[in-house]
């Protein structure tokens, strides 16, 4: 804990210096860390993460996926891989992150989650700290880190979202999914000071529906929350996605010319182009340690 406070103070000091304020080095972190999250379950997070990851890896980017569904792993399933170890082996001290990490299509790397073990559904402060320290050591190897979170408002969900530089919220046009997306943004903005969210609307029937969802969420969040919502685009509803999940291959690989694959490729390009969150002026280490600093104070 002492280490966290010391490091955090150092980073905070350097952020206050005039040099650091204008420094491009601080404003453009080497590694982009994005969490992909939702209020309601089953809205397409894992589909989005796996397809974007493969799309970026195909473009030569070094990509890491962290499966943060710590008790109900999915990423390995949609990518058709059978990992020998998972994050539970890291949490119980049996393996290092490097030993848990597996390779997926086009050289992308995955930290798979375990399945059916309740033990890590709420990470304690020590495990959070160990995970962050080990991830810090890995981050320089990657251009993009994508964190596939659970749905809902659990402690693990807020932990991974606050740890990321940017939060991408996935919703469908269903009123329940939109209401839950709003509830999650409300929690993250009021309790965890997150001010910018990227939005993807999945399972749309046309681009107008995606825009309509964005406008509604912008209107209600503009009225009641102090946040900025950035619309990345929409993904059409299409049975082919279901088929690709069943075949354990991603759309951008299985049906690269299909309109859904094209929408997902466009999304991955936009994700890379979107300016880094203004709030995110430090490195990955800074954010994760900052969050743990908050956590440590609270406990
Ligand atoms: N655009 C789409 N069109 C049709 N079906 C889709 C689409 N997106 C996702 N699906 C279907 O919805 C299912 C759930 O998607 P996914 O597993 O990605 O959701 P999730 O948000 O990760 O769920 P969880 O909250 O359980 O982690 C997929 O298996 C797929 O069959
Ligand atoms: Mg999922």
Question: Which residue lies with its CA nearest to atom 31 of ligand 1?
Answer: 242
Structure token pair of residue 174: 């269903």
* Tens-level pLDDT at each residue, the chain (299 residues): 223 333 333 333 333 333 333 344 444 447 899 999 999 999 999 999 999 999 999 999 999 999 999 989 899 999 999 999 999 999 999 999 999 999 999 999 999 999 888 888 899 988 988 998 888 888 778 999 999 999 999 999 999 998 888 999 999 999 999 999 999 999 999 999 899 999 999 999 999 999 999 999 999 999 999 999 999 999 999 999 999 999 999 999 999 999 999 999 999 999 988 887 766 544 454 455 555 554 444 43
Which residue among 36, 37, 46, 53 is best mutated to probe the pocket of ligand 1, counting the most ligand atoms within 8 A of its Cβ?
46
Give the pLDDT confidence score for residue 4 in this predicted structure.
31
What is the model's pTM? 0.87
Q: Which of 3.30.479.20, 3.40.50.880, 3.30.565.10, 3.40.50.300 would CATH assign to domain 28-298?
A: 3.40.50.300
The CB of 43 under 6 Å from ligand 1? The reply is: yes
Cβ(71)–Cβ(113) under 8 Å? yes
Best mutation site among 235, 241, 254 for ligand 1, i.e. most ligand atoms within 8 A of its Cβ?
Answer: 241
CA distance 48 to 33: 15
Would you say the CB of residue 209 lies under 6 angstroms from ligand 1? Answer: no
Q: Quote the pLDDT of residue 118.
A: 83
Confidence (pLDDT) at 277: 76
| Beta carbon of 86 within 6 Å of any ligand 1 atom | no
CA of 297 to the centre of ligand 2 (A): 31
Q: How far apart are CA 27 and CA 38, in angstroms?
A: 27
CA geometry: angle 101, 107, 108, nearest 5 deg: 60
Residue nearest atom 28 in ligand 1 by C-alpha distance: 242
CA 68 to ligand 2 center in whole angstroms: 9
Q: Rg (Cα) of the chain, in Å, rounded?
A: 18
Mutate to test the pocket of ligand 1, among 174, 242, 248, 260 (most ligand atoms within 8 A of CB): 242
Residue 288 corresponds to which tokens in the numbers above? 């994760």
Distance 223 CA to ligand 2 centre (A): 30
Mutate to test the pocket of ligand 1, among 68, 200, 245 (most ligand atoms within 8 A of CB): 245
Q: What is residue 292's predicted lDDT score, i.e. its pLDDT?
A: 58
- Ligand 1 near 45 CB (within 6 A): yes
Half-sphere CA count of 241, side-chain side, radius 13 A: 21
pLDDT score, position 294? 47
Residues in the chain: 299
Residue 186: the pLDDT is 97
Q: Is the CB of 154 under 6 A from ligand 1?
A: no
Q: Return the C-alpha torsion angle 258, 260, 265, 266, nearest 10.
A: 120
- The verdict on the CB of residue 189 being under 6 Å from ligand 1 is no
CA 170/CA 176 separation, integer angstroms: 13
Residue 21, classified by CB atoms within 10 Å of its CB into exposed (0-12), middle (13-18) or buried (19+), is exposed
Centre a 10 Å sphere on the Cβ of residue 216 and count the other Cβ atoms it contains.
14
What are the residue boundaries of the structural domains of the chain, listed by start?
Answer: 28-298
The string of DSSP letters for 124-163 reads -HHHHHHHHHHHHHHHTT-SEEEEEEEESS-HHHHHHHHH
Label residues 247-273 b or e (16+ Cβ within 10 Å = b): eebbbbbbbeebebbebbbebbebbee
């Amino acid at each position: 804990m002492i280490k966290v406070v010391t490091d955090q103070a150092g980073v905070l000091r350097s952020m206050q210096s005039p040099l650091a304020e204008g420094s491009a080095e601080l404003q453009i972190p080497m590694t982009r860390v994005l969490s992909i999250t939702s209020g309601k379950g089953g809205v397409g997070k894992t589909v989005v993460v796996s397809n974007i990851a493969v799309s970026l890896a195909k473009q030569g980017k070094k990509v890491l996926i962290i499966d943060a569904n710590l008790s109900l792993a999915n990423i390995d399933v949609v990518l058709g891989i059978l990992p020998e170890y998972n994050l539970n082996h890291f949490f119980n001290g049996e393996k290092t992150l490097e030993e848990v990490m597996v390779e997926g299509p086009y050289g992308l790397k995955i930290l798979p989650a375990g399945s059916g073990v309740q033990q890590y559904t709420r990470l304690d402060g020590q495990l959070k700290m160990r995970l962050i320290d080990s991830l810090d050591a890995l981050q320089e190897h990657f251009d993009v880190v994508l964190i596939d979170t659970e749905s809902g408002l659990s402690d693990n969900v807020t932990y991974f979202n606050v740890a990321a530089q940017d939060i991408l919220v996935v919703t469908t046009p269903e009123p329940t999914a939109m209401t839950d997306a709003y509830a999650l943004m409300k929690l993250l903005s009021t309790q965890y000071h997150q001010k910018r969210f990227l939005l993807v609307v999945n399972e749309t029937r046309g681009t107008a529906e995606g825009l309509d969802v964005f406008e509604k969420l912008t209107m209600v969040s503009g009225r009641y929350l102090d946040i900025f919502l950035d619309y990345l685009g929409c993904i059409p509803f299409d049975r082919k996605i279901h088929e690709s999940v069943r075949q354990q291959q991603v759309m951008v690989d299985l049906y690269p010319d299909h309109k859904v694959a094209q929408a997902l490729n466009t999304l991955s390009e936009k994700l890379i182009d979107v300016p880094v969150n203004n709030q995110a002026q430090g490195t990955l280490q800074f954010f994760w340690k900052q969050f743990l600093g908050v956590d440590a104070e609270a406990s």
